[in-house]
Chains A and B, each alone.
Chain A
């Protein structure tokens, strides 16, 4: 899958990412209506996704991230074997994303100051999984957190030559009618981050 930077972790260093910004991140992300689920391993992550599928009565899923991480690929395989309709091929994603119930992708790092996650979505399929289904789940390594947008852009300036990337901070929202907050106007109404609590070992591997 095409990415803006093939390995963002090469840019991270102690002065950029630090788990001490976790509390800031969690507070700000929740304030932006992001749901955060912390898991201690990928088995738990799989269970969590399975529970979301059941509670939302999801029938089909479009997902990326399996090429970057064998652990994520395993989860998708296991879900498929459990009878979940999950599409990971880019053309299958393009075909099914408009009707899928859940999209799954990955985040590179998070920002404490704003509760945002940075998403590298050069590929078409990584964008539609996060925009078309009503529920969007991303994996995040809890060690990869930067302090604020200033640091975030120090990281980005080293990896961003061309392509498509940005930040997601909660679900799609509008307040265009009487300034009443409504979620899910164009994109997902639920944005869920599954935080994998494993030591920084680079990306999701």
Chain B
């Protein structure tokens, strides 16, 4: 169903869905503050997140024993227990229970696992009467749609659309009055509950200690599903298991707050073993024990549990908050992710639980901004896991041919790459205006719709350095090698000049090893680890030979790649791991390095200038490197400037390497919002510390607010040094 998908087209449809854009826009505006308000009465969100993460990590490390204990507990209480290796096994088992017990009517309470295996369709095809009871899921089942969010399945619909589905299901005209619809649903679904033979639920957790399962709902549908029918079937995935009763609190203090911004949902229900049910048999009321069946679903979960990287998905409690803060999900909604799970975690779960083919279609729908990582209750490194899946995929299937040429023949070969960039600098002349390209002809036009593209500089930094380095101080305190990265070298060489000037002003000698290549991040983003290793080795050798005290990057992505990714790349190679560790100890990011030097020299004095400047936090700088104070300290101390903050200063600008070009239709609305926030701050200058953000925001300003200047912090400091 999904393999012939035209994802670009689907995205385009969603971007033009006004109802969706309106709903998501309003939600996103409120979510972050509402979430923090829900946490206002806890001592430390971090402590809660750590305790959840540790508990889940401990559990996955012993998943088989925990599952055995859970099974023993369920059986000991009198429940039936079945381990299903996949969806087919679940279906077969469930159908058998239905047939043996003369089940005709089933009510369901939100189970994503049942969506994952397309259970409803199977049951209906087998003649069973099946009803979803969560209001949102019920409306979607009537509409024949899939949920677009794990917690708010129908967030993409408005009241008129909902009323239409009500009318269609009930065969009567239902007005688009929300209260009316709610009460109508209560009536209709109440009958379903009372008549059902079987209640089918998922579980938010399953406790090994006593075999209980926990369900968190607001509507109370899970409570009815587990109370009224004579049979209760629980479909639970391995990742929901927890060892002890007390561990449930670790989930419950985070899940409602992150998921729905509540301190607790209306209902939190736990069921351990069979419980009494009272029903009428042949005209007489009888009390008996309900049949309870627990189906423990694998469907790819155990394989992940035993994978050193992907076991991390067990830290997920399905709160869906990674969707709520994702710059992409909040623009396009959940349906373009294609399978059941959407957003960042959805991309991963689709790959692990569904298929790599489906993953491939959506693997690029992560901008790598790490906002989700900063709020995930289980602290899952979502972008890293997506990158890991891409890498495994490339390892198994290789890059597609055009990418292979770009990556392995061009990017990995510094000479060819740099020669091509020089040719591009000449080739772009017909479309260039000053430093930017404002319009591209024909099918490239969309790339410049609302954003100008940066022009490749006439003279790259590497051709300018010999002159600059002549101004090195005679008795330097440090010898610094400048790792410029591609953007500064070829697009913003003037920023490179500023960096050199700032360092020389600190009485440091600057060197520029000419054999340096791209840091390798774009290649890694495409999943080609082998090529990235070659690039990394080249850079390590070149900078070892430079014999310096410090290696300085003025691009946070380059700094992050050196520090984090190079180490990961050579994790299995002792010799190279040692070399990398030694050399990366010298790698620093520009603003943090300079702020520290200025502090020592008493140069971090707050000034108040006439030019208002606002600062955009690059994702890699802020969440990747944890640097957000130092750039502000430098701006506060910059002569002539006054720092003013803007709304959502730490939200992604939409560039994220190649993403901004390939998915320009998503990148541009994100950029537009950024430009509006910059304008609203009243600043006449926007400062950045990341050349990729600089490229993106410069392009947006050029077309939407040309009166505002963009400057790298190095440029701002250097102004005063002239």
Contacts and interface: CB of A to CB of B under 8 A. Distances in A.
Contacts of A157: 209, 244-246
Instruction: List 7 A-B pairs, minimum CB-CB distance, nearest first.
Output: A187-B220, A176-B136, A114-B264, A157-B245, A153-B249, A166-B269, A94-B278
B266 A131 contact: no
B41 interface: yes
A176 B27 CA distance: 13
Contacts of B194: 98
B605 interface: no
B582 interface: no
Interface string B226-267: 111000000000000000111011001100000010111111
A113 B42 CA distance: 8
A176 B133 contact: no
A182 B184 CA distance: 13
Interface string B209-233: 1111010001111011011100000
Interface of A: 2, 24, 28, 31-32, 90-91, 94-95, 98, 111, 113-116, 122-125, 127-128, 131-132, 148-150, 152-154, 156-157, 160-180, 182, 184-187
5 contacts: A128-B228, A169-B262, A169-B265, A169-B266, A177-B162
Contacts of B279: 94
Nearest to B211: A162
Contact of A177 (B133, B159, B211): B159
Contacts of B162: 177
B249 A162 contact: no
B227 to A, nearest CB: 5
B185 interface: yes
Nearest to B220: A187
A149 B249 contact: yes
B278 A160 contact: no
Contacts of B159: 177-178
B520 interface: no
Contacts of B270: 160, 164-166
Contacts of B135: 174, 176-177, 185
B158 interface: yes
Interface string B419-455: 0000000000000000000000000000000000000
Contact of B219 (A111, A127, A149, A185): A185
Contacts of A160: 210, 212, 245, 270, 272
Interface residues of B, number: 71
A168 B276 contact: no
Contacts of B193: 186
B275 A124 contact: yes
A110 B154 CA distance: 33
B415 interface: no
Interface in B117-156: 133-136, 139, 152-155
Contact of A161 (B189, B262, B272, B278): B272
Contacts of A166: 214, 223, 267-270
Contact of A162 (B136, B152, B186, B272): B272
B309 interface: no
Q: Of B221, B267, B273, B285, which is in contact with the most chain A CB atoms at under 10 Å from its CB?
A: B267
Contacts of B77: 162
A136 B218 CA distance: 15
B98 interface: no
Interface in B98-129: none
B186 A113 contact: no
Contacts of A114: 263-264
Given A116-B268, A169-B265, A186 B27 contact: no
B189 A186 contact: yes
B505 to A, nearest CB: 54
Interface in B20-55: 23, 26-27, 41-42
Q: Is the interface of A mostly helix, strand, loop or mixed?
A: mixed
A127 B212 CA distance: 17
Q: Which among A153, A175, A177 has the greatest number of chain B C-beta atoms within 10 A?
A: A177
B644 interface: no
B246 A169 contact: no
Contact of B278 (A125, A162, A178, A185): A125
A63 to B, nearest CB: 16
Nearest to B279: A94
A180 to B, nearest CB: 5
B210 A32 contact: no
B276 A122 contact: yes
B177 to A, nearest CB: 10
Nearest to B252: A149
Contact of B273 (A2, A163, A187): A163
Given A176-B134, A176-B154, A153 B227 contact: no
B601 interface: no
A50 to B, nearest CB: 27
A161 B207 CA distance: 11
A83 B249 CA distance: 44
B110 to A, nearest CB: 11
B277 interface: yes
A46 to B, nearest CB: 27
Contact of B253 (A2, A149, A161): A149
Contacts of B399: none
B181 interface: yes
Given A178-B158, A185-B220, A122 B275 contact: yes
Contact of A164 (B181, B249, B275): B275
Nearest to A187: B220
Contacts of B178: 177-178, 180, 182
A203 to B, nearest CB: 21
A91 B278 contact: yes
Contacts of A175: 152, 218, 260
A182 B179 contact: yes
A91 B278 CA distance: 7
B218 A90 contact: no
Contact of A124 (B158, B253, B263, B277): B277
A94 to B, nearest CB: 4
A178 B139 CA distance: 13
Given A113-B263, A115-B264, A2 B269 contact: no
A182 B130 CA distance: 25
B186 A164 contact: no
A165 B214 CA distance: 10
B721 interface: no
Given A150-B246, A185-B186, 7 more contacts: A32-B262, A124-B278, A169-B265, A175-B218, A176-B134, A177-B157, A184-B186
A124 B136 contact: no
B182 interface: yes
A182 to B, nearest CB: 4
Nearest to A89: B285
Given A153-B249, A174-B219, A176-B139, A91 B285 contact: yes
Interface centre among B157, B193, B265, B275 (most CB of A within 10 A): B275
A111 B265 CA distance: 13
A173 to B, nearest CB: 5
Contacts of B27: 179
Nearest to A153: B249
B210 A124 contact: no
Contact of A131 (B41, B158, B227, B244): B227
Nearest to B244: A157
Given A172-B218, A177-B162, A90 B287 contact: yes
Nearest to B273: A162
Contact of A179 (B152, B181, B267): B152
Given A98-B190, A167-B264, A169-B268, A177 B223 contact: no
Nearest to B138: A176
Given A131-B227, A150-B253, A184-B182, A173 B268 contact: no
Contacts of B153: 176
Contacts of A174: 135-136, 182, 218-219
A171 B267 CA distance: 9
